[in-house]
Chains A and B, each alone.
Chain A
Amino acid sequence: MDELHELKKAFQEELGTVAGLEDLQKLKAKFSGRKGKVSAHLKKISALPPEKRSQFGSTLNEIKKFIEKEVIQLEASLKAEVQQKRLQTEFLDISLPGRRQLFGREHPINQVLTEAKDIFISMGFDVEDGPEVETDYYNFEALNIPKDHPARDMQDTFYVSEDIVLRTHTSPVQIRVMEKRTPPLRIIAPGKVYRCDADISHTAMFHQIEGLMVDTAIAFSDLKGVLELFIHRLFGKDTPVRFRPSYFPFTEPSAEVDIGCIFCGGSGCRVCKTTGWLEILGAGMVNPKVFEMVGYKIDQYTGFAFGLGIERIAMLKYSIDDIRLFYENDCRFLSQF
């Protein structure tokens, strides 16, 4: 029995010298491992006289449990100590910046274009497309702007040849679509257009969205309804909208649409030239001459068309006073949107 006493004593002594988890692991192996001292003593049982076996066995078992308990306890406190130490020594300067995922920006013109497109798409318009280099026929003639008509002065045109131009508006897409589809039609055609004109409010290239709705009973009041809804979605539902007469050869009656000046609230300022109104788009009922050009029966269909300049809307939305900023592509400008 003394040897068991010695065993316990030896364990207790060595336990006192344990400095860390590693020492403890060694101690654990030395005493309670498969080849440890407890196992060694266990093997001796069979060599003992039968009457002593039970006593020896139960004492050894108690020591075994004692060792296990001590090891677990010490292990727990050592682990706690280690964790405590980590918490005390490890730290970050959490004020340092994180590693950001650089997300590129969308050009503000395309942001506005997408917003406008989505509004029309939600109103049931399809998105159509047409060439940027156009024939004189689609850009002018089919839109009731014959050669040598004063209305040609309304747009400064880039010519590729006598009969080929850079489209001056997205309106030719109207013609191309009507040539291949029959009503009902509800389309928009976004894209780049070109005019040979450049100053603080004009660039040689800019963006438009053309719209066209044709059916058997479309009225001017519907044009008002659709455009008012669009403007209210884009600028807020309290924005005043004003329709006034204008002239486009391909619409009759034609209208210019103004919104209440968003800078002065209508009281008059530099931006709205003291009128309280800002011109935002041109529109009108499709001129029957245009229907004749595409072979639609003029007594069967009516419709309206409109065109809006995206740069103008973006300038209003973001209070930008020089249109050329959009095409300088300065990263300090682009990163703001």
Chain B
Amino acid sequence: MLVSFDWLKDLVDITAGPEEVADMLTLIGLEVEGSEQLEGDIVFDVNVTPNRPDCLSILGVAREVAAAFRRPLTIPETDMNSTLPASDIRIEILDSDLCNRYTGRSITGVTVGDTPEWIRKRLEKCGIRALNNNIVDITNYVLLELGHPLHAFDADKLEGSIIKVAKAGGSRSIVTLDEIERNLSDATLLIWDAKNPVAIAGIMGGANSGVTSGTRNIFLESAHFEPISVRKSAKALSLRTDSSFRFERGTDIIFLENALNRAAMLIQQVAGGVIHRLVDSYPVKPEYTKIDVSIRRVNEYLGTDMEKGEMIDILERLGIEAEDRGDVLNVKPPAFRKDIMVFVDVVEEIARCYHYTNIPVTAPKTTLSEGVISIKEARIRTMKQAIRATGFTEVLNYSFMSPADLDLLGLPEQDIRRQYVTLKNPLRQEESLLRTSLIPSLMHNVVYNLSRGSNRIGLFELSRIFEHRGEQLPREVLTLGGIYLEGRSSFLWKDTVPPFFVVKGALESLFEEMKCEMYEFTPSTEVFLHSGKAADIYFRKERAGFIGELNPHTIEKMNIKIQQPEIIVFELNVDLLLTVIPETIAYKPIPKYPSIERDIALVLSDNLNAVEILRHLEGFHPDLIERVELFDEYRGKNLPENKKSLAFRIVYRAPDRTLTESEIEPLHNELVTFITGKTGGALRGQ
């Protein structure tokens, strides 16, 4: 709401300067978000919260200024001469639940013409375009000044000297003042003449009855419309006006008469004419709230130590009646303060005028609580620490995805990731779905960074994905996703680890750091991964995610300039991971006796899986074989085609004695026979 300081001074006798007034308004809850010097005046931009429709006017703001500075308020003269000619217009309210009061005045013999400059200037300073139609501009002037919307009809265009207030009742349309045909629903409240709708109540008048340069006689409306009905209609019509904005927040059913009179008098002053007697239909009278407010409770609630007299003083300055009943005040808010309904509303009034800054600062007197990080929080922190320690940087992407992202992955129709949540009102089509995978966002991050010269890229994100399972709310799964592209190394000291194993190693380190031992990598069939370089990750037989190189076909769709890039991605269900971490750590004694190590190199068929062989070796004699390490893999020269060599180190150890060479010798020979038999391989070099 734009407020001219000059105009404000018409209504309240201010001695303070504009800056001081702005600061004060902010302190009592009418935040001045900015101010602008305009033609020797200062215009405040006041943020009026939805609970304070009474402040959507110069008068409303002036009332607050008067209360805060204890200065007198000057409400414009609105008393009318009682000997006026009668009006020939009759009012009939058919839907009195939607219109509690409808008043109006006929003004005959007006001259529609230019608007005086002082009115035009004030309108424009406060953000309303002057139309150079003195009648309409004056209704807007009063709307700004007193906060009550008014409407002027060309009385000669109304059929049958009657104003009816009734719902549309069936579908029909009306052409509004802005020359747009509006389709109305049944429930829209309308103003009718004897035959036709002439205005959408509280929102906009009809073109058929508008005041034009030829208008001679007008009927000026000032009414009260039910807020929710106005809001629904305005929303349905996508038509928000200065008038509907105020009606949907609530208007003053009593003061509307003063606004009507003020406008009539201004019109007469500017456009001439004869004002007629008030016509007033007032089927529903306002109910006043009375609230008992305990002095002690106010102080307990705020943590203050205020005197009763101070509270009464504040309330009275705000125009709120407060009857002293000993320990209790019986409080009666005025009609324009519909927001004050219960005890806490009164507390707020007292607090804001006492100023929040004067309320003490205390520590809560409440039960002590532990102040510890929950296990889940701690584990997630460990996880993030571990993934960062392996060189991955965290990104945060929007939770949205595009339908094209699913095609980017080439997911088949029945894939679970196509069970997504769709937004009804996305900002852009590319952000119309909720993510069912973190991978597309991470792929976009890579494309973005490559095009900006980044080279080696290792990124991770920890966010929820949303699986639509047909229930009311989607399943939100905390997911860790990552992407890795080695690029040209800009490091002096080169590593030559295949990228897949860089990332797999990162995950293994992560699992180790989290004390998670129950994992397994098995070949994956994810369509967007390279079929020969992809693994599914299982925790205790439950699939928790995947790791793999992006399929060349998928990479092609990314449109990046590098030749045959190897991009590794992974995704992991963190909720599942957190279930397989042991609650406690049990210490295992450090071995007392020395170990004996033996290496064997096996020449094996190329398609044999190293982990299986490792398992066989470990299982051969679990009592004496402490562990088996795979320390070399070799293919190529000196080996037959389709063969590879794997070298294992077997660590023998007994928990209760020192093993001797002579004890190990036969055991190891047996192991060699066992494993060559099991795998069809041979010892290398034999």
The interface of chain A, by Cβ under 8 A from chain B, is 96-97, 99-107, 109-110, 114, 117, 121-127, 131-135, 148-151, 153-154, 158-161, 164, 166, 184, 186, 192, 194, 196, 198, 203-205, 213, 215, 217-222, 224-226, 228, 242-247, 249, 252-256, 273, 275, 285, 287-288, 302, 326-332, 334-335
B344 interface contact, C-beta 8 A:
yes
Q: Which of B26, B52, B352 has a CB less than 8 Å from the CB of A253? A: B352
* Closest Cβ–Cβ distance, residue B534 to chain A (whole Å): 23
B132 interface contact, C-beta 8 A:
no
Given A242-B357, A330-B449, CB of A106 within 8 Å of CB of B388: yes
Indicate if the CB atoms of A245 and B28 lie closer than 8 Å.
yes
Q: Which residues of B contact A302 (CB under 8 A)?
A: 301
Indicate if the CB atoms of A288 and B396 lie closer than 8 Å.
no
Q: Which residues of A contact B448 (CB under 8 A)?
A: 328-330
* Closest Cβ–Cβ distance, residue B266 to chain A (whole Å): 29
* Closest Cβ–Cβ distance, residue B526 to chain A (whole Å): 24
Given A127-B374, A153-B50, CB of A219 within 8 Å of CB of B28: no
Residue of chain B at shortest CB distance from A195: B427
Within 8 A of A (CB), among B487-518: 491-493
Q: Which residues of A contact B231 (CB under 8 A)?
A: 148, 150
Q: Which of A148, A159, A186, A275 has a CB less than 8 Å from the CB of B232? A: A148
Indicate if the CB atoms of A218 and B364 lie closer than 8 Å.
yes
Which of B202-210, B457-465, B549-557, B675-683 participates in binding chain A? Answer: B457-465
Within 8 A of A (CB), among B328-367: 342-345, 347-348, 351-352, 356-357, 359-367
Q: Which residues of A contact B227 (CB under 8 A)?
A: 150
Q: Which residues of A contact B387 (CB under 8 A)?
A: 104
B563 interface contact, C-beta 8 A:
no
Q: Which residues of B contact A96 (CB under 8 A)?
A: 492
Main secondary structure of the interface of A (DSSP, over half): mixed
Q: Which of B51, B368, B395, B400 has a CB less than 8 Å from the CB of A204? A: B400
Residue of chain A at shortest CB distance from B356: A243
Q: Which of B249, B303, B431, B474 has a CB less than 8 Å from the CB of A219? A: B303
Indicate if the CB atoms of B492 and A124 lie closer than 8 Å.
no
* Closest Cβ–Cβ distance, residue A175 to chain B (whole Å): 14
> In the bound complex, what is the Cα–Cα distance between A249 and B363 (angstroms)?
25
27 contacts between A and B (CB under 8 A): A97-B492, A101-B391, A102-B391, A102-B458, A106-B388, A107-B395, A114-B381, A121-B372, A132-B466, A150-B231, A151-B50, A158-B426, A160-B423, A166-B423, A186-B369, A215-B367, A218-B364, A220-B301, A222-B365, A224-B360, A224-B361, A226-B364, A228-B361, A244-B357, A245-B28, A328-B448, A334-B395
Q: Which of B28, B345, B431 has a CB less than 8 Å from the CB of A252? A: B345
Interface size range of chain B in the complex? 35 or more
Indicate if the CB atoms of A160 and B424 lie closer than 8 Å.
yes
Within 8 A of A (CB), among B1-59: 26-29, 31, 33-34, 49-52
Residue of chain B at shortest CB distance from A192: B399
Indicate if the CB atoms of B476 and A220 lie closer than 8 Å.
no
Q: Which residues of A contact B445 (CB under 8 A)?
A: 329
Given A150-B248, A225-B363, A288-B342, CB of A103 within 8 Å of CB of B396: no
B611 interface contact, C-beta 8 A:
no
B86 interface contact, C-beta 8 A:
no
Indicate if the CB atoms of A254 and B396 lie closer than 8 Å.
no
Residue of chain A at shortest CB distance from B396: A107
Indicate if the CB atoms of B370 and A124 lie closer than 8 Å.
yes
* Closest Cβ–Cβ distance, residue B580 to chain A (whole Å): 20
Indicate if the CB atoms of B369 and A287 lie closer than 8 Å.
no
* Closest Cβ–Cβ distance, residue B85 to chain A (whole Å): 40
> In the bound complex, what is the Cα–Cα distance between A109 and B396 (angstroms)?
8
Residue of chain B at shortest CB distance from A304: B364
Indicate if the CB atoms of B421 and A133 lie closer than 8 Å.
yes
Given A246-B29, A332-B454, CB of A132 within 8 Å of CB of B476: yes
Indicate if the CB atoms of B34 and A247 lie closer than 8 Å.
no
* Closest Cβ–Cβ distance, residue B230 to chain A (whole Å): 10
* Closest Cβ–Cβ distance, residue B533 to chain A (whole Å): 23
Indicate if the CB atoms of B452 and A103 lie closer than 8 Å.
no
B392 interface contact, C-beta 8 A:
yes
Residue among A96, A154, A244, A332 having the largest count of chain B Cβ atoms under 10 Å: A244
Residue of chain B at shortest CB distance from A163: B472
Q: Which residues of B contact A244 (CB under 8 A)?
A: 26-27, 29, 31, 356-357
> In the bound complex, what is the Cα–Cα distance between A275 and B370 (angstroms)?
40
Indicate if the CB atoms of B344 and A184 lie closer than 8 Å.
no
> In the bound complex, what is the Cα–Cα distance between A296 and B302 (angstroms)?
20
Q: Which residues of A contact B476 (CB under 8 A)?
A: 131-133
